[in-house]
Chain A
Amino acid sequence: MAEIVLDNVTKRYPDGALAVDKISLDIADGEFVILVGPSGCGKSTTLNMIAGLEDITEGELRIGGKVVNNEAPKDRDIAMVFQSYALYPHMTVRENMGFALKLAKTPQNVINEKVEEAARILDLTQHLDRKPANLSGGQRQRVAMGRAIVRDPQAFLMDEPLSNLDAKLRVQTRTSVSRLQRRLGTTMVYVTHDQTEAMTLGDRLAVMRSGVLQQAGTPKELYDRPVNLFVAGFIGSPAMNFMGATLEEGSLRTAIGDLPVSAPLRQVLERSSVGRNVIVGLRPEDFEDAALVSADNRGFGVTFHATVDVLESVGSDVFAYFSQDSDLSARSDQLADLAADSGADDTADAEETVTARLDAATTLREGQDAELWADLRPMHVFDPESGRNLALEATAGAAAS
């Protein structure tokens, strides 16, 4: 069967640069796994190693139970779709799709049958005798996928196949990729830097940073229970808000007030070598206009006052942006990476802005001193040094005891 197992796979370049550092990941047969992360995190290198286009320095790669470290790409029975499609310009669509089969000396009638079948699935039948230069971007992308499908491989590898398409087409093609994978039932390993694509398409996501696997799990797991600062800030749009906090007298002092700390969490904080300063994470949807919060729910969080800098209404929600006191703002190298990736380090005072997603019924105005409420149940607490999510450990500990 076609499960792919990466066992401590490492890629070190001759000049010593470490592109991928001991990544271990099990991909089950028929699973749709997405490697996601910022530019330069090693996800494309990992994909190339699975494909056989790059050598594996250390570790083992097993496809279908067989170690394939030294096998040529064509012997691994996997097909790849490239970011730039890499269609052969001098061949027609039909010839492009049939090239691999022709090299394998398949009889011509079998080739024709398979090419026509794939063309039917991808709605390319009327373009079969045209050259790639005469096709639109979306059509070329489908031809690239057709070239992979025709080979009926054990697994598909896709390297950012949607990044060359315009935004609307990207959304449409995303759903067609998802449907295709479900229809064919083939294992798929997909690389992207777009976390929205990752969240919507994958059965499981693997977040990478600087060559190291940060966390692998279902989209929901990564969203609700991120293991560190990087995953917390990378997954979810708009991103999670991070605020500096100091642990004093059993509560966390932050820019939005003193937040009570539950007993298990206090134990974890005191037990660990974290020191006084931590980082508190709250997602935009954890905030609300205090006037709209029912009395029953108020107890689960804290209310505070803040001046609304900018108010954006998208119809279904209202996004309120306010600043926090910069002395207490969060600092960490994982956050610096996130800021570099999102471009926030180039924007003035982006670090100190907190984003809140409010119900559309709110009557708040820009510049108004508003009373807001923050739900503390989903609050995350991180160690600034290592980035570890301490709140997770607390809930795990509480669940165990």
Chain B
Amino acid sequence: MAAVATTGKQKVGWGTANTIVVALALIPLLWIISLSFKTPAAITDASFWPQQWTLSNYFGSTGILDTSTFIRPLLNSIGIGLIATFIAVVLASMAAYAVARLAFPGKQLLIGMALLIAMFPQISLVTPMFSIERALGLFNTWPGLIIPYIAFGLPLGIYILSAFFREIPWELEKAAKMDGATPFQAFTKVIAPLAAPGMVTTAILVFLFCWNEFLFAISFTSTISSRTAPAALAFFSGSSQFTAPTGPISAAAVVITIPIIIFVLFFQRRIVAGLTSGAVKG
């Protein structure tokens, strides 16, 4: 990156702009964190930070981490996310390999359809899928969410992974063939290890998608047996039917969001590399 010489005035200008943008992003997050540490009575008081810090929203009789109404959805999120990610990455890598290496009739059609699925508005699929899942008995089950997540995660995976596979020289597979490998052995022993960064990136992005997904989670589940965490938030009940459970909701939001933030901060380079890998050659 070329260093742009900035004068003092420009530095002040950029500094102000950066501060505003960061503030806009951070303030809502900090607010939720602060709400999660407030007692129910103090929720609507005008102070940004709690006067009285309390862990009652997290632990104890009103705490979310001590009741199954949140723990179970959290486990559902993790389980569904991991399974959907795993299957999506495996299928996407095989499809991406075919797309990157082979020329078969209907290839462009296939790529076009994959892109179409990714761009399709999810809301229009909710009603028909609801009926289908009920008919198939998938309603309110883990597979009922895993299958749509795989379907929506595949186009992303295929796109990223085919860019990675294209970077791997054709001659490596020829060399493996000469060494006596079957195509499957060439794929698993030579190509897949080299595409591992791409697979990790795809896994991260698909997992994030599954974790944050809300629409299907509330539409295709009815009890906490398979409801995921973001959806469960929507069904929290307060201490009485007249109070909004802001405290527990904030605490739940923190529990859902913070790990993801740490995750993304840790892997941010990879994620950016994965998304831009196909853009510039070499």
Name A residues whose Cβ lies closer than 8 Å to a Cβ of B: 51, 53, 72-74, 78-80, 82, 84, 86-90, 99-100, 103-104, 147, 151
B40-85 CB contacts (< 8 Å) to partner A: none
Tell me which of B169, B178, B193 contacts A84 (CB under 8 A): B169
Are A103 and B180 CB-contacts (below 8 A) given A84-B169, A86-B169, A88-B190? yes
Task: Say whether B172 contacts A86, CB under 8 Å.
Answer: yes
Task: Say whether B178 contacts A74, CB under 8 Å.
Answer: yes
A204 to chain B, nearest CB (A): 24
**B11: Cβ under 8 A from any A Cβ:** no
Task: Say whether B175 contacts A82, CB under 8 Å.
Answer: yes
> Residues of B contacting A86 with CB < 8 Å?
169, 171-172, 174-175
> Residues of B contacting A88 with CB < 8 Å?
172, 175-176, 190
Task: Say whether B180 contacts A80, CB under 8 Å.
Answer: no
- Range for the number of chain B residues in contact with chain A: 10 to 19
> Residues of A contacting B169 with CB < 8 Å?
84, 86
Closest to A100 in B: B179
Task: Say whether A104 contacts B180, CB under 8 Å.
Answer: yes
Q: How far apart sit A147 and B171, CA to CA, in the bound complex (Å)?
A: 15
Indicate with 1 or 0, residue by residue over B164-208, a CB within 8 angstroms of chain A CB atoms: 000001011011111111000100011001100000000000000
Q: How far apart sit A393 and B189, CA to CA, in the bound complex (Å)?
A: 58
> Residues of A contacting B190 with CB < 8 Å?
88
Task: Say whether B178 contacts A79, CB under 8 Å.
Answer: yes
Q: What 10 additional pairs, Cβ within 8 angstroms, besides A74-B178, A78-B178? A: A72-B177, A73-B177, A74-B179, A74-B180, A79-B178, A80-B178, A86-B175, A88-B175, A88-B176, A90-B194
Closest to B175 in A: A86
Name B residues whose Cβ lies closer than 8 Å to a Cβ of A: 169, 171-172, 174-181, 185, 189-190, 193-194
> Residues of B contacting A78 with CB < 8 Å?
178
Task: Say whether A53 contacts B185, CB under 8 Å.
Answer: no
> Residues of A contacting B194 with CB < 8 Å?
89-90
Query: How would you classify the secondary structure of chain B's contact residues: helix, strand, loop or mixed?
Result: helix
> Residues of B contacting A147 with CB < 8 Å?
175, 179
> Residues of B contacting A90 with CB < 8 Å?
193-194
> Residues of B contacting A74 with CB < 8 Å?
177-181
Task: Say whether A103 contacts B193, CB under 8 Å.
Answer: no
> Residues of A contacting B189 with CB < 8 Å?
99
8 closest A-B pairs by beta carbon, nearest first, are A74-B180, A100-B179, A86-B175, A86-B171, A103-B180, A90-B193, A80-B178, A73-B178
B165 to chain A, nearest CB (A): 14
> Residues of A contacting B177 with CB < 8 Å?
53, 72-74
A selection of 30 A-B contacts at a CB cut-off of 8 Å is A51-B178, A53-B174, A53-B178, A72-B177, A73-B178, A73-B180, A74-B177, A74-B179, A74-B181, A80-B175, A80-B178, A82-B175, A84-B171, A87-B175, A88-B175, A88-B176, A88-B190, A89-B194, A90-B193, A99-B176, A99-B179, A100-B178, A100-B179, A100-B180, A103-B180, A103-B181, A103-B185, A104-B180, A147-B175, A147-B179
Q: How far apart sit A81 and B176, CA to CA, in the bound complex (Å)?
A: 12
> Residues of B contacting A100 with CB < 8 Å?
178-180
B269 to chain A, nearest CB (A): 20
Q: How far apart sit A86 and B168, CA to CA, in the bound complex (Å)?
A: 10
Task: Say whether B171 contacts A82, CB under 8 Å.
Answer: yes
> Residues of B contacting A84 with CB < 8 Å?
169, 171
Task: Say whether A82 contacts B179, CB under 8 Å.
Answer: no
> Residues of A contacting B185 with CB < 8 Å?
103
> Residues of B contacting A104 with CB < 8 Å?
180
B129 to chain A, nearest CB (A): 41
B143 to chain A, nearest CB (A): 35
B166 to chain A, nearest CB (A): 16
> Residues of B contacting A51 with CB < 8 Å?
178
Closest to A89 in B: B194
